[in-house]
Structure 1
Amino acid sequence: MRHMHRLAGFVFSLLLSAGASAAVLNTTNTTYGVFDGSEGTRALRVDARGTVRDVNITVEFSKCDDPPIGPNGTRCLGSGDPFEEEFMLRLIGPNGTAVDLVQAYSTYDGSGRGAGRVIVTFDDEALQAAGPRIAGGSFRPAQALSAFDGMNTFGSWTLYLQDFAPGDPLEFFSARLGITYDPAPVPEPATLAMLGLGLGLIGMRSARKR
């Protein structure tokens, strides 16, 4: 029995050693869109398989007073209030887990004039929380991205965007999803041979015992 336990432990260690080191993947979507009193999504496809350790997402967008700044614009064209509190961004994992990056705010003083086209990285480890004013940089999301930790990376991740009232459009330019993960084990041919030998020895010993 002791020998069987040793063999089983050896087989298990082979499986662990086949995918021990962490990896990083990035996937992007650059399909421009305008959301003005409307909603939409952008897909971020991940073909790698493994277990999530950490998720960050960078979103390039604008929230300006009319009119839209367009796919090549950088600064707000309208001089009025862009109502920065009336939009949301949400990241949805392949299994349906949803994390709000930006939530609509219930209070707002109406003094905003629009930051123009900004690039915001949402990172749980950032020093400052996102909002209520829009600004470029690295910020903590409204909800923790650690909700994705331990998930399978594979599948279609979705960035959901919504602007709640017409007249001051939310414009999307790009998104980049970054995932640190533990790759799923893929044994080398020699490892597979040793694994087969170990399982065979366990089977033979079990048959002799019976």
Structure 2
Amino acid sequence: MATKMKCLIAGAVLAAATTGPAHAALITATNSTGGSADQSFIDRSVGIVSTGTILDLDITVEWSKCGSGVTADFFCSSGGFPYPGEAFMNLTGPTGTNVVLFSSSYFSGPGSSIDVTNTFNDEAVSSLPTTIQSGTFQPVGALSAFDGDDVAGTWTLRIGDTVGADPILFRSFTLNIRTTGDSVSVPEPGSLALFGLGLAGLGFLRRRRS
């Protein structure tokens, strides 16, 4: 009887080890290669080599809408009316899923150049206001569209402006992606360096277990 009980306990432990909870991770990826778009757009990307199913995602963007002048580090250098409704921004994931953070014609203010930091988060208390301002807001599209996708691959933020003479500026974006999955790899630093060489212009990646 004792032997049988030991076998049952061993079997239960083995089953728990086999079917236990999947890995969970917070993946953070940043691109801080500044740029400017005026009646055009620019794309900024990050490459993620870890795998895992996306549970939740938010993105923080440092950007500006300027009336005219631009500093060397991509801030507005003058006032002037920036026609904020010309600005647009969207995020595309590795599988082709695309989410509009805000579309052109969405904003109606402010009346002068402004430098802002926005965190776009589906769980934010407030929707994105129609006046450009810093803060944490729900995007126009739902970032939950990425839930269930695999995190690995290239993520691209597109920043654009539809009319000339008053540019949109980009300074940086950071993705915070919570994932879970049976196969989550942690690349060696050397592997990350090689991956970066193969993907010119991509940002960097940090991974922390939660």
Identity of aligned residues (%): 36
Q: Which has more radius of gyration?
A: 1
Aligned: 1:94 with 2:94: yes
Partner of 1:205: none
Hey, what does 1:155 align to over in structure 2?
Answer: 153
8 Å CA contact retained: 2:56, 2:178: yes
* Whole-Å separation in 1 of the counterparts to 2:18 and 2:88: 42
Cα separation, 2, equivalents of 1:173 and 1:107: 20
Aligned pairs for 1:159-198 within 5 A: 159-185=157-183
Extract unaligned runs of 5+ from structure 2.
1-11, 185-210
Give the alignment's Cα RMSD to 1 decimal. Answer: 2.3
Letter of the 1:69 partner, please give it.
Answer: T
The question of whether the paired residues in 1 share the 8 Å contact of 2:54 and 2:177 is answered with yes
Structure 2 vs 1, CA of residues 14 and 106 (structure 1 numbering), >3 Å: closer, same or farther? closer
Q: Which residue of 2 aligns with 1:121?
A: 119
Shift of 1:81: 0.9
Q: How is 1:1-210 mapped onto 2 (pairs within 5 angstroms)?
A: 14-17=17-20, 20-71=22-73, 73=75, 76-105=76-105, 108=108, 112-115=111-114, 117-185=115-183
- The answer to whether the 8 A contact 1:163-1:170 is kept is yes
Residues 1:127 and 1:33: Cα distance change in structure 2 (over 3 Å): same
TM-score, normalised by the number of residues in structure 1: 0.75
Kindly indicate whether the alpha-carbon contact (under 8 Å) linking 1:114 and 1:134 is maintained by their aligned counterparts in 2: no
How much does 1:182 deviate?
0.1
CA contact (8 A) 2:36 2:42 kept: no
Provide the rounded CA distance (Å) in 1 between the counterparts of 2:81 and 2:155: 32
State how far apart, in whole Å, the 2-side matches of 1:130 and 1:168 are: 22
Looking at structure 2, the residues matched to 72 and 65 of structure 1 have their Cα atoms a distance apart, in angstroms, of 13
User: Residue 90 of structure 1 contacts residue 101 of structure 1 at CA under 8 Å; is this kept in 2?
Assistant: yes
Please say if residues 84 and 107 of structure 2, whose CA atoms lie closer than 8 Å, have aligned partners that are also in contact.
Answer: no
Give, in angstroms, the shift of residue 21 of structure 1.
3.9
Q: CA deviation at 1:23?
A: 1.1
C-alpha separation in 1, matches of 2:158 and 2:29 = 16
Write out per-residue CA displacement over residues 33-90 of structure 1, whole angstroms, 9 at most, x where no aligned residue.
Answer: 11011112111111110100001000011101001233164xx433321011101110
Q: Amino acid of the residue matched to residue 124 of structure 2?
A: A
For 1:159 and 1:111, locate their aligned partners in 2 and report how far apart those are by CA, in whole Å: 23
The C-alpha deviation readout for 1:7-48, integer Å capped at 9, x for no partner, is xx999865542x624210100001111101111211111111
Q: What stretches of structure 1 move > 2 A for 4+ residues in a row?
A: 9-17, 76-79, 183-186
Scaled by the length of structure 2, the TM-score of the pair is: 0.75
Residue pair 2:80, 2:112 contacting (<8 A) in 1 also: yes
Alignment check: 8 A CA contact 1:112 1:133 kept: no
- Whichever structure has more strand as a proportion of its residues is 2
Query: For the residues of structure 2 that align with 1:42 and 1:184, how far apart are their CA atoms?
Result: 30
In structure 2, distance between residues paired with 1:39 and 1:91: 13
Q: Do 2:151 and 2:179's aligned partners in 1 also have CA atoms closer than 8 Å? A: yes
Contact 1:16 1:185 in 2 (8 A): no
